[in-house]
Every structure is written in structure tokens, then in C-alpha cells.
Chain A
Amino acid sequence: MKNPVVTIENVSFKYDGQEQYALKDVSFQIYDDEWLAIVGHNGSGKSTLAKLLNGLQFPEEGRIQIGGIDLTEETVWDIRKLIGMVFQNPDNQFVGTTVQDDVAFGLENNGIPREDMVERVQSSLKSVKMEQFLDQEPHHLSGGQKQRVAIAGVIALRPKIIVLDEATSMLDPRGREEVLDTIRQLKNDHQMTVISITHDLEEAAKADRIIVMNGGELYREGTPEEIFQMDEELVKLGLDIPFPVKMSKMLKAKGIPLNKHYLSEEELVTQLWTSHSNK
């Protein structure tokens, strides 16, 4: 049986002075070592959910449990050690004046002894392949490099869970791939749970599970296959369908036999040429 690391029970939340609830009665679990993608239209409550997980906001109703600990004002600092967050804008989360200072920032906050810090700064920068940039200043780095430094800052704290709130949306395709590859690698090496909030459905297609948010409510959860079965329904929710899925649907409509919707381009291509050569 899968082990839940995060349990969210009937959580509702409203920002101060706001009429509308940003989250309405949301319940779900996140399991150990999984890659969970959260998708949904703008303003559907994804970032709010991420902020609640980290105790940056507290739910008005309901309960959040992380790593077996109830999230309250008292436990929030311990929970923040378990959850690392990477935000969207690479510039607005870079605190240090140089790469190594920035990675050290979280360690300093947690009172890690200096010798330990030096070691952790080195090793976490190495794991995101930024170790040659120790003394570089942020304005001399590309967006993707800054995001990798942000990831190093999170990894240095050895969290169990890493939350990416559209962490790759301001990057070009290459920067995006670099950052995601880094995360995949780290997830394998350190057995972390990854929660990725994204508008990129091709990225979501590679997740273990997808949660679809709509207007502050949890609309649907399921494996990528299950979610992309929804087709037109997704479009109505303000989401797009990944290209390979669209393509396999159209091919099917043309009478080309395919046994399922393919989620990645490679899969689809392989299926097409093998089925052709099998004839």
C-alpha cells in the first residue's frame, strides 16, 4: 500500500477581504515518492494550495497533515524543513548576493553549523550542475541557471517534498528541460515526493498522477491516461490537450488502429512505425 506523506482533509480557504473562496472543501492525499502534477486554469487555486502546504497561509476549515505532523502555527517551522518550494519568477526568489550565499540562505535560517553548511552548499550545487558558479552574481545567470540555484537551495535543506509552483514557466524550452531533468535526477537520488504545479500538460503527462483544479475545487484526480481521456472536458476547464494525445485521437478518427491515447511523442512514434512494419 502506498504511504501518504501529505493528507489534506476538507480544506477551505479564503483570502482576507475576498468574497470568493480560493479553495473549497478540498481533500486528497499525496503519496511517498510520487510525482504529482496539479493543473487548472488561472485562479483555480493552485498557488493557494501550495501556500497552505507550506504554512504560508492557514486553512479556514479542514486539516493538513504532513509527514504525520498536523500543520499548525507551532509546527510550521518543522514542516517548512520538510517541504521545499520553488516559485515561478527566478529573480524574485534569489536572496543572496552570490550563488553560494543564496544556497546558504535556507541553511542559515535553520541554524546549521558553518562547516556543515559549506559541505551542503557544495554538494547541492554539484547536484544541480552549478558548482562552477559559486561566486557568480544573479544578474550574470540565465533564468534556468537561477532556477537551478533555487533548487539547490531547497535540496540543501534535504526536504522530503519539493513543490514547484510553475517553476519552469518563465524559462525557454531548453531551460525548462534542464530544470526538469535536474528534478527527476534528484527525485531518484533522494527519494523525494515532487508536487509540480504547471500549465504545461506535456510535463504533466510525465507525472505519476494528475490533479485537476477548477474554481477552487478539486475537479478530478487520476493517472495521466485517465485524465487525458477527458478530452473536450479538459478544454472546457481552460486546459489544452497535449499534442501527442490530440494526434492519436485524430489518427484514430482517420481509421488508423491505435490501442490507446499516447502521452508522449516517442511512444506514439514507436507505435506508428512498429504497427506499420508489422503489416
Chain B
Amino acid sequence: MMEKMIFGRYIPAESPLHRMDPRSKILLVFLFVCVVFIANNAITYGLLAVYTFLMVLSSKVPIRFILGGLRIVLWLVLFTLVLHLFFTKEGDVLFQWGSISIYEGGLKQGIFISVRFFLLILMTSLLTLTTTPIEITDGIEVLLDPLKKIKFPVHELALMMSISLRFIPTLMEETDKIMKAQTARGVEFSGGPIKDRVKAIIPLLIPLFIGSFKRAEELATAMEARGYRGGEGRTKYRQLRWGFVDTVMLLILAFVTAALVLFRS
């Protein structure tokens, strides 16, 4: 289950999308999310679908991998479609069977909304698939920089994200260790009635929490000892570089947007 989820997974590859600056990639996806709502007919939705498909191709992430990972989402999309088929009553009746009737409007709406939903999910997963989490963090920090003017703790937020990312594997290892230790003491984590299984979580969570607090304290001391005193006066080691691909990618999206505006009804 966990292995099949593709949200937040990074797939290393050599592709134009991988080479893009995280800032422009985040911007691109954000703009795409807005642009999607311009589409309102078959031509414009078709255009969006082609664009997204080309983006997926250029990412060099295997299509089968993406679709496999989005299986649950596909069910949701299908569900939206069915919902619209039955509940939107607009236009001519296309099909009638007993008390169930399907309208033209319902079919159109259903298809459009499912396609929109699907494309949005596809593009956002493309972002996480082609960008390492730390790059996303860096990108967000820079993009949110203007918010520092209104005292929004941008640097702290980015640091929190990167420390969380840094400690996820460590905590997973620790969870595993504690689980094994508790299993050896006779706690059963799998099997048994739900009530028992929930109970078994407690001897797992308590040592994990206590351990994390100790870690946090030590980490804070270590950070302070290394001269950390907030974002002020800090330089950055990681550098973001806006390249040719970034400009091209954004221009392409601009063209698509223009075309959408032109062809929408």
C-alpha cells in the first residue's frame, strides 16, 4: 500500500522537468491550477489534456507507474463522473431506463469535471515526482519571501519542513525498533480485533514521543552551538538557478492559456 502511493515520491531521471528550477515548477503548477478553470468545452479540455500528456511524456517518469500510483484517484474520478451522470438534469434526455434518466448536460458536465480533476492531480503529482522535497522547500521559501514583509515566518517554516524531511527516515527506523522491542514483549500489532490493535499503538507512540522530545532538545542545542540564531544575516548554500528550460516552460503555458481563452465558448 505505502509503496504504491506516489504522492510525495521523487523519481530521479534526466529530463527537462527534472532540470527545471523548483520555483518555476511550483509557479507552473500553480498557474496550471488556475488556467484549468478557463476550459469549458471539448476543444479547450482536449487542449489541456494534450498539454498535460506532453508534460508527463517530457518528465520521463513511466506512464504506467503514474497511473498505477493514481489508482485510488481514478476511482474517485469515476465516482464524480457517475454522480454527475445521475444528478445533473440539463439538456436533452439521452437515455432512459425505468426511473433513471441520463441527460446530455450531465454527461458533458461529468466528463469535463472528471477530466479537470484528473489533470489537476496529474500535474501536481508531476511536481513531486520530478522535484526532491528539499528543492520544493527551497522553492517555497523563495516564492513566499515577499510575505516576510508582513512578518510571516517564511524562513522558520522552510526550516521546519526541511528538518521534518530530514527526520522522517530516522523516526521510521525508530518506530521499527520500538515495534520489534514491543513485539518481543508480547504486544501484537497485526491481527486481533480493532480494539486490541488500537491499544497496541499506545506502547508504540509513547516511547516514540518521548524519544522525539529528547531529539528535539538535543538538536536545538546542537543548532545553537553551531551559531544558528534565526534567518537574519544567514546566507544560503543551496542555490536556485533560473535557466532556459524554465522560461520556455512558462512560455508554453502562456501559449496554452492564450489558446484556451481563444477557443472557450
Assembly CA distance A206 to B218 (angstroms): 29
Assembly CA distance A47 to B132 (angstroms): 38
Shortest Cβ distance from B10 into chain A, in angstroms? 12
Interface residues on A, range: 35 or more
Q: Which residues of B contact A138 (CB under 8 A)?
A: 166, 169-170
- 9 smallest CB-CB distances across A and B, nearest first, come from A104-B237, A93-B222, A92-B218, A109-B227, A139-B169, A106-B226, A85-B225, A97-B134, A109-B228
Contact: A108 with B235, CB < 8 Å? yes
Contact: B170 with A108, CB < 8 Å? no
Picked from B165, B219, B224, B235, the residue with its CB within 8 Å of the CB of A92 is B219
Q: Which residues of B contact A228 (CB under 8 A)?
A: none
Contact: B236 with A87, CB < 8 Å? no
B148 at the binding interface (Cβ < 8 Å): no
CB proximity to B under 8 Å, residues A61-117 = 77, 80-81, 84-85, 87, 89, 91-98, 100-101, 104-114, 117
B233 at the binding interface (Cβ < 8 Å): yes
Instruction: Report 9 cross-chain contacts, Cβ distance below 8 Å, ordered by A residue.
Output: A85-B225, A91-B215, A92-B214, A97-B166, A98-B134, A109-B228, A111-B235, A138-B170, A139-B169
CB proximity to B under 8 Å, residues A130-189 = 137-139, 153-154, 157
B149 at the binding interface (Cβ < 8 Å): no
Q: Which residues of A contact B237 (CB under 8 A)?
A: 100-101, 104, 107-108, 114, 117-118, 121
Assembly CA distance A154 to B227 (angstroms): 11
Q: Which residues of A contact B226 (CB under 8 A)?
A: 80, 84-85, 95, 105-106, 109, 153-154, 157
CB proximity to A under 8 Å, residues B106-144 = 133-134
Shortest Cβ distance from A264 into chain B, in angstroms? 32
B99 at the binding interface (Cβ < 8 Å): no
Interface residue tally for chain B (C-beta within 8 Å): 29
Assembly CA distance A170 to B169 (angstroms): 19
B239 at the binding interface (Cβ < 8 Å): yes
B251 at the binding interface (Cβ < 8 Å): no
Assembly CA distance A162 to B229 (angstroms): 20
Q: When A80-B227, A87-B218, A105-B228 are in contact, do A111 and B238 touch as well, CB less than 8 Å?
A: no
Q: When A109-B234, A114-B235 are in contact, do A93 and B166 touch as well, CB less than 8 Å?
A: no
Contact: B235 with A77, CB < 8 Å? no
Q: Which residues of B contact A154 (CB under 8 A)?
A: 226
Known: A87-B218, A96-B166. 4 other contacts (CB 8 A): A95-B223, A138-B166, A138-B169, A139-B173
Shortest Cβ distance from A79 into chain B, in angstroms? 10
Contact: B221 with A111, CB < 8 Å? no
Q: Which residues of B contact A104 (CB under 8 A)?
A: 237
Assembly CA distance A96 to B166 (angstroms): 7
Contact: B222 with A106, CB < 8 Å? no
Assembly CA distance A31 to B227 (angstroms): 24
Q: Which residues of B contact A111 (CB under 8 A)?
A: 233-235
B182 at the binding interface (Cβ < 8 Å): no
Contact: A110 with B225, CB < 8 Å? no
Shortest Cβ distance from B239 into chain A, in angstroms? 7
Q: Which residues of A contact B173 (CB under 8 A)?
A: 139
Q: Which residues of B contact A56 (CB under 8 A)?
A: 221, 224-225
B163 at the binding interface (Cβ < 8 Å): yes
CB proximity to A under 8 Å, residues B191-238 = 214-215, 218-219, 221-229, 233-238
B80 at the binding interface (Cβ < 8 Å): no
Picked from B169, B219, B235, the residue with its CB within 8 Å of the CB of A95 is B219
Residue of B nearest to A101 (CB): B237
Assembly CA distance A157 to B225 (angstroms): 12
Assembly CA distance A101 to B158 (angstroms): 14
Shortest Cβ distance from A195 into chain B, in angstroms? 13
A54 at the binding interface (Cβ < 8 Å): yes
Q: Which residues of A contact B222 (CB under 8 A)?
A: 85, 87, 92-93, 95
Assembly CA distance A144 to B173 (angstroms): 18
